[in-house]
Structure 1
Amino acid sequence: MTQETQTSSRDRIIHAAMTMFGEDPGARLSVRAVAARAGVSTGSLRYHFPTQRALQDTVLAAIYDLITPGDLIHDRTVTASERLIGCLRQVLAVAGVGEQARAGWREIFKAYIEPEPTEESRAAYLAIEQEAHRRVEYWLTVLSDEGAIPEGDNGRRARYLETVLTGLSIARALPSEESLLATETEILHAAVEHVLKQRL
């Protein structure tokens, strides 16, 4: 098989997977379905993407590269740690501080915690959560591709960082005697250092 054929089949696989993802963002990209859509054998797909995770990570990175080509995570003039912390701070900035953070958590409580969950409210919350997860996982995939993170499960790493972000966003809504900025900075540095050094 020539390099040209390998490249074109890989591109067809990525294009097919991105199309399927665009049609149904919640769909799992099964090897068989993506191979059929791309018009390649499952063996060819496995050659380019040995695992389903490898395929998903590549598709996720390609999608976000199209959506946000100027994303902070791509700024190689700063360290991987600084870039990831900056991206996480962007998420926290949306949550606000003080009254803005409290108002946001009140809305979440009223919509998703206080009432008995319905199929509609559950689906709405899961869609929001899934999009947030994809975003964090994308940042980690970019750093993995650069070799800044040891091999491992970026999905698990993303869940860990999302849990840290949730805790910090709640802390922003609560009274505190300590400097919020100092505490937040210390926690973000510790979390990112853990992710960049551990094989999760």
Structure 2
Amino acid sequence: MLDNKGFDLWADGYDKTVGISDEENSYPFAGYKEILGMIYKKVLEREKPTILDIGFGTGTLTTKLYEKGCEIYGQDFSERMIELAQKKMPNAHLYQGDFSKGLVKPLLQHTYDFIIATYSLHHLSDDAKIQFIQLLKKLLKENGSIFIGDVAFQTRADLEKCQREVMDEWDEDEIYFVIDELKKAFPKMEFTQVSYCAGVLVIKR
């Protein structure tokens, strides 16, 4: 698993790396642009919402929302990625912190129309995902939603099939979403499969 120094080193080439994987329809970023596009459209159905982005990276999605007048809050553990994102969004409220240990205190003092996490929560164990999402739900405003775009599979069998197909490329340090299993904790969760290895989860308040 990459630590914050690893992400700092990867920061400048991150968007290019993701783009190549998406264009080649290859694991793990197949469907990346479509996933971000889906979340972008859903968020902008509300006028100038307040958004919390968990693990925003270089701000690929949040920058577009920022440009549309959304108020942006975010947490990432890479200083370099925060630096790159802050240049694009000078008035955004961006904080450094390891979300596996929770949210930094300033972010706990607000509520949000939308909380988004794209390709970040797979660093948490399945139990930690549930606990963290439960925390995030408490920070939603009325009629708010959590949008998670990530490597995700409807069933454990689907995940194992993908793992066999990509073989050595599979990242053993990442723990991907299995929808049928997560629905035990969030039975009203909605899921849209976008590519063979990724999709969008929606959890409403």
| TM-score strictly above 0.5 | no
Larger radius of gyration: 1
TM-score w.r.t. the length of structure 2 is 0.21
Relative to its length, the structure with more strand (as a share) is 2
Which has the larger helix fraction? 1
